[in-house]
Amino acid sequence: MGSEDLAINGGPKVRQGPYPPWPVLGEEDAAAVTETLRSGKLTQLTGGDVAAIEEAFAAWHGFDQCVATSSGTTAIHTLLAALGVGPGDEVIVPAHTFIASATPVLHQRATPVFADVNPRTFCISPESVAERITGRTKAIIAVHLNGHPADLDALLALAEPQGIAVVEDAAQAHGALYNGRKVGTIGRAGCFSFWEDKIMTTGGEGGCVITHDHDLAERMRRIRHHGEALVQPAPTGGQADERTYYHAELGYNYRMSSLHAATGLVQLGKLEEYLEARRRNAAFLTEHLTDSPAIEPPYLAPNSVHSFYKYVCRLRPEAGIGIDWFVRAVTAEGIPVSRRYPTPLPQQPVFRGSGFGKQPCPVAERLAGELFTLLVHPTVTEEDLCDVVAALWKVAGRLERSPHTRSGEDAAREIEGILDKLSLTTLINKEDVQNRLVEFCLAALGWRLDSTNTHVWVPLSEQMASLWAFPSRQTKRDYVLSARGAQVVHIEAQHEWRRFAVDLDTFLERINRGDWEDTRREGPNKELAVLLWGAQEANCKRAALIDEKRLLIFERDGEWGLAREVDLFVDPIERVYAAFMLLAPP
Ligand SMILES: Cc1ncc(COP(=O)(O)O)c(C=O)c1O
């Protein structure tokens, strides 16, 4: 199959029709909502639906306390407020998750501290958490991301002796099991989202917190309702169960409505069936993707049962392809696919702009450029999944046969050539390694990072050993590159993603002055590298990127003119070359 067969290049699409929708609500939901609507008891304060879903959802978990809220975000916020998280407290959150796992920390004017994630489960790493705990740590948010349980035993072992609360963010993980127990029931409390596309919905928006702690639940009930205690007599008198209009503390209106609760009650009755379908669909995909050298299907820890809110795969960097192009190519085949959280939380303006998230989270940063999401919701059939598999193999299969991809031996020769052209003292240090551009290039070279991401291991040939002035009789095949020293390069990327130009002289001068503002965003870094590569190749002083990364124009003889048009899917070797240009000392 040639590249012209790909739909992105005008070839036929794998799938013409639409993908099955989610959620699908039916007559039963409509009847329940209609009945509630007609009752005129539309709120938690006046009707019985909210109390009913609270009881049913708690019971489904073997609990008796559930506090329904207007969303998953307000569930987390209500819980943090009830736990007394406030100014001066630190809350450890994973760097790779949906932003609402962390923003409630800011709403409480506490400090979010970002921990790295496990490279296989994508959930918060207990090792990284251990490094972040201080005397101010009040809570750890364990997000069961995509439906995979976080490593709760390890987190609880760290937290409990120090009186730190483990908050389970189970917004994406209804029904997931950790050591046979439902998530949400293991930490101090579990927060759920019932947003429209979640594993079950309460008809668009909704959330809740479950806990076995009655006092905590009581406080949450008060906070979600303006701090007003409904069932306690106010100090000024009044009957239990009547509104007191006495507001004991700062609260919010975070209540769920009766209409949402009525829908949720119907949906809860189908939850087991939904989970079974998701797991079946995921198993089908895993079976058919396992052999792909380019795609890594989701990992499942042995003590865990996934609930597959999303089926999140890793595009292996060895495939030598940018994730953006991949997602566009699969989308063009008629398959819904998207990148999974491409901006790690520490780099989100809301955190970064306030100076949070300075500690590195290299795994989260790497994953942000490698993960993509496929949909396995219950309405998806095996036939649909066959299209998904066909599209992935069509796109990823082409890459593996691409003329751009070279054999290992060719690559080694190319690398030596590149190193020859460059300064022999091109050095890489820890900070550079954590820069995703470098990681990307290392992977393209077939080099690898050690598990702490602080050392680069290089398969060392005799010739390379002499090029790099390493002992020539090195007996080990691997050599620790980072032991050689350091040159720190920060790359500026304050320009727009789609349209920017660099003046190479200024660029290199500023690199050498070392006054570049650090950026860890993948896109501009990678694009800058490509620009530099292109400019170097055309022997031009200026390069510009236009029209969605498809064209490079270069200046010649002081004039702007089109020197060369380049498809930005360049092969890994050239990307590596470009990266080394960034890293090379003057
Ligand atoms: C991990 C996680 N936490 C919290 C939330 C917030 O839930 P909601 O959208 O219902 O506010 C979400 C929602 O997508 C989520 O995925």
Q: Chain-wide mean pLDDT for the chain? A: 77
Looking up tokens 């989610």 gives 22
CA-to-CA distance for 567 and 550, rounded, in angstroms?
Answer: 5
- pLDDT tens per residue, range 336-367: 999 999 889 988 889 987 888 778 888 998 89
The answer to whether the CB of 577 is under 6 A from ligand 1 is: no
Per the confidence metrics, is the pTM higher than 0.75? Answer: no
If we measure between CA atoms, which residue out of 373, 217, 356, 230 comes closest to residue 309?
A: 373
Task: Report which of residues 170 and 573 the model is more confident about.
Answer: 170
Task: Indicate if 208 and 61 belong to the same structural domain.
Answer: yes
Stretch among 144-148, 177-181, 237-241 having the lowest mean pLDDT: 237-241
Q: Are 211 and 190 in contact (CB under 8 A)?
A: yes
Task: Indicate if 77 and 163 belong to the same structural domain.
Answer: yes
- Backbone dihedral region for residue 227 (phi beyond 0: left; psi -120 to 50: alpha; all else: beta): left
Q: Which of 80, 98, 201, 373 to mutate to test the pocket of ligand 1 (most atoms within 8 A of CB)?
A: 98
Task: Indicate if 189 and 302 belong to the same structural domain.
Answer: no
Is 403 exposed, middle or buried (CB count within 10 Å of its CB: 0-12, 13-18, 19+)? exposed
> Is 21 domain-assigned?
no
Task: Indicate if 435 and 344 belong to the same structural domain.
Answer: no
Q: How many CA atoms lie within 13 A of 425 on its CB side?
A: 5
User: Which atom of ligand 1 lies at the shortest distance from residue 198's CA?
Assistant: 14
Using the mean position of ligand 1's atoms as its centre, give its distance from the Cα of residue 193 in Å.
6
The answer to whether the CB of 393 is under 6 A from ligand 1 is: no
Q: Are 256 and 202 in contact (CB under 8 A)?
A: yes
User: Which atom of ligand 1 lies at the shortest distance from residue 205's CA?
Assistant: 10
Task: Indicate if 313 and 461 belong to the same structural domain.
Answer: no
pLDDT at 557: 56
Q: Which amino acid is at 263?
A: T
Residue 134 has pLDDT above 80, yes or no: yes
- Write out 501-547 in H/E/C secondary structure: EEEHHHHHHHHHHCCCCCCCCHHHHHHHHHHHHHHHHHCCCEEEEEC
Radius of gyration of the chain (CA): 27
CA-to-CA distance for 3 and 335, rounded, in angstroms?
Answer: 18
SS3 assignment, position 242: coil
The answer to whether the CB of 193 is under 6 A from ligand 1 is: yes
Q: Are 580 and 332 in contact (CB under 8 A)?
A: no
Residues in the chain: 586
> Is 293 domain-assigned?
yes
Task: Indicate if 462 and 578 belong to the same structural domain.
Answer: yes
Q: Are 42 and 36 in contact (CB under 8 A)?
A: yes
- pLDDT tens per residue, range 65-89: 999 999 999 999 999 999 999 999 9
Pick the last residue of a domain from 270, 288, 320. Answer: 270
Using the mean position of ligand 1's atoms as its centre, give its distance from the Cα of residue 19 in Å.
23
- pLDDT tens per residue, range 435-460: 444 454 455 444 554 444 444 444 44
Using the mean position of ligand 1's atoms as its centre, give its distance from the Cα of residue 54 in Å.
19
> Is 19 domain-assigned?
no
Pick the last residue of a domain from 253, 270, 287. Answer: 270
Task: Report which of residues 292 and 448 the model is more confident about.
Answer: 292
> Is 32 domain-assigned?
no
Using the mean position of ligand 1's atoms as its centre, give its distance from the Cα of residue 80 in Å.
15
Using the mean position of ligand 1's atoms as its centre, give its distance from the Cα of residue 434 in Å.
28
Task: Indicate if 149 and 233 belong to the same structural domain.
Answer: yes
User: Which atom of ligand 1 lies at the shortest distance from residue 194's CA?
Assistant: 10
Q: Which of 74, 143, 172 to mutate to test the pocket of ligand 1 (most atoms within 8 A of CB)?
A: 172
pLDDT at 539: 58
- Number of compact structural domains in the chain: 3
> Is 1 domain-assigned?
no
- Residues contacting residue 3 through CB under 8 Å, at least 6 positions apart: 9, 398, 402
- The residue nearest atom 3 of ligand 1, judged by CA position, is 101
> How many of the other CB atoms lie within 10 Å of CB of 87?
8
CATH of the domain at 238: 3.40.640.10
Average pLDDT over residues 375-380: 98
If we measure between CA atoms, which residue out of 517, 578, 584 comes closest to residue 543?
A: 578
Task: Indicate if 227 and 283 belong to the same structural domain.
Answer: no
Residue 542 has pLDDT above 50, yes or no: yes
Pick the last residue of a domain from 270, 294, 318. Answer: 270
- The residue nearest atom 8 of ligand 1, judged by CA position, is 72
Task: Indicate if 209 and 182 belong to the same structural domain.
Answer: yes
The answer to whether the peptide bond before residue 23 is cis (omega within 30 degrees of 0) is yes
Quote the domain boundaries for residue 212.
Answer: 43-270
Task: Indicate if 257 and 356 belong to the same structural domain.
Answer: no
Helix, strand and coil in the chain, % to nearest 5? 40, 15, 45
Give the tokens for residue 232. 């306690």
> Is 31 domain-assigned?
no
Percent pLDDT > 70 in the chain is 65
> Is 11 domain-assigned?
no
If we measure between CA atoms, which residue out of 48, 73, 112, 353 comes closest to residue 195?
A: 73
The answer to whether the CB of 307 is under 6 A from ligand 1 is: no
Task: Indicate if 509 and 573 belong to the same structural domain.
Answer: yes
The answer to whether the CB of 169 is under 6 A from ligand 1 is: yes
> Is 445 domain-assigned?
yes
Q: Which amino acid is at 509?
A: E
Using the mean position of ligand 1's atoms as its centre, give its distance from the Cα of residue 174 in Å.
12
Task: Indicate if 371 and 444 belong to the same structural domain.
Answer: no
pLDDT at 417: 46
Burial 303-326 (b: 16+ CB within 10 A, else e): ebbbbbbbbbbbbbbbbbbbbbbb
Residue 168 has pLDDT above 70, yes or no: yes
The answer to whether the CB of 190 is under 6 A from ligand 1 is: no
CATH of the domain at 277: 3.90.1150.10
Q: Are 29 and 203 in contact (CB under 8 A)?
A: yes
pLDDT at 111: 97
- pLDDT tens per residue, range 466-510: 444 444 333 333 333 332 222 222 222 222 222 233 444 544 454
